[in-house]
Copies of this chain bind each other. A is one copy, B any other.
Amino acid sequence: MHKNFSEETLRNFTKQVFTEMGCSEEHAELATDVLIQADLRGVDSHGVARLSGYYRLCCKGRINTTPNIRIIHETPTTATVDGDSGLGLVVAPFAMKIAIEKAKIYGSGWVSVKNSNHFGIAGYHSLMAVEEDMIGISMTNASPLVAPTYSNERMLGTNPMCYAFPAGNYPPVVVDMATATAANGKLEIAQRAKKQVPEGWIQDKLGNSTTDPDALKNGGSLLPLGSDKDHGSHKGFGLSATVDIFSAVLSGANYGPWVPPFVAFLDPPSDPVGEGIGHFVGAMRVDGFRPIDEFKQHLDNWILTFKNATTVNPNKKVVIPGEPEYLFTQERKQSGIPLVQPVVDDLNQLATTLKINGL
Task: Select the stretch in A43-51, A252-260, A340-348 that faces chain B.
Answer: A252-260
Q: How far is the CA of A301 from the CA of B305 in the complex (A)?
A: 46
Chain B hits for A173, CB < 8 A: 241, 245
- A295 at interface, CB cutoff 8 A: yes
How distant is the Cα of A242 from the Cα of B78 in the complex, in angstroms? 22
Enumerate chain B residues within 8 angstroms of A249, measured Cβ to Cβ. Answer: 165, 295, 298-299, 302
A236: Cβ under 8 A from any B Cβ:
yes
Chain B's nearest CB lies how many Å from the CB of A173? 7
If the complex has contacts A76-B106, A151-B309, A290-B250, are A225 and B235 also in contact, measured as CB distance less than 8 A?
yes
> Which residue of A76, A299, A306, A319 has the most chain B CB atoms within 10 A of its CB atom?
A306
Q: A228-280: which residues lie under 8 A (CB-CB) from chain B? A: 230-232, 234-239, 241-242, 244-246, 249-252, 255-257, 273-274
Q: A106-B77, A108-B77 are in contact. Are A239 and B175 (CB under 8 A)?
A: yes
B250 near A318 with CB under 8 A, answer: no
CB distance from A207 to the nearest CB of B (A): 3
A310 to B144 alpha-carbon distance, docked (Å): 14
B245 touches A289 (CB 8 A): no
- Taking a contact as CB atoms closer than 8 A, the residue among B110, B230, B242, B302 that contacts A108 in the complex is B110
Q: How far is the CB of A278 from chain B (nearest CB, A)?
A: 11
- Does A151 contact B76, Cβ atoms closer than 8 Å? no
Question: In the assembled complex, which residues on chain B have CB atoms less than 8 Å from the CB atom of A79?
Answer: 288-289
The answer to whether the Cβ of A200 comes within 8 Å of any Cβ in the partner chain is yes
Are A290 and B256 closer than 8 Å at their CB atoms?
no
- Could you say which of A74, A249, A312 has the most chain B C-beta atoms within 10 Å of its C-beta? A249
Residue pair A150, B289 in contact (C-beta under 8 Å): no
Tell me, rounded to whole Å, the shortest Cβ–Cβ distance linking A353 to chain B: 38
- A152 contacts which of B75, B78, B234, B310 (Cβ < 8 Å)? B310
Total count of chain A residues near the partner, CB < 8 A: 87
Q: Are B225 and A236 in contact (CB under 8 A)?
A: yes
Chain B residues whose C-beta falls within 8 Å of the C-beta of A294 in the assembled complex? 252
Q: Do A151 and B77 touch across chains, with their CB atoms under 8 A apart? A: no
A304 to chain B, nearest CB (A): 10
Contact A312 to B207, CB < 8 A, known contacts A106-B75, A175-B238, A295-B250: yes
Q: Is the beta-carbon distance between A316 and B150 smaller than 8 angstroms?
A: yes
Whole-angstrom distance between the Cβ of A295 and the nearest chain B Cβ: 6
A250 contact set on B, CB distance < 8 A: 135, 286, 289-290, 295
Cross-chain contact B288 with A242 (CB below 8 angstroms): no
In whole Å, how far is A27's beta carbon from the nearest beta carbon of chain B?
25
A171 within 8 A of B: no
Q: Which residues of B contact A135 (CB under 8 A)?
A: 246, 250
Q: List 16 A-B contacts (CB under 8 A).
A: A78-B289, A80-B290, A150-B313, A155-B305, A163-B242, A175-B239, A175-B242, A179-B235, A200-B230, A207-B312, A225-B225, A234-B321, A238-B321, A241-B306, A249-B295, A273-B301
Known contacts A151-B310, A250-B295; 20 additional CB pairs below 8 A are: A77-B106, A78-B285, A78-B289, A79-B289, A108-B108, A151-B311, A151-B318, A152-B311, A152-B312, A163-B238, A173-B245, A181-B226, A225-B226, A225-B232, A234-B319, A244-B302, A252-B290, A252-B298, A256-B305, A256-B306
What 10 A-B pairs come out closest when comparing CB atoms?
A75-B107, A78-B288, A207-B312, A175-B238, A78-B107, A77-B107, A75-B288, A151-B309, A177-B235, A238-B321
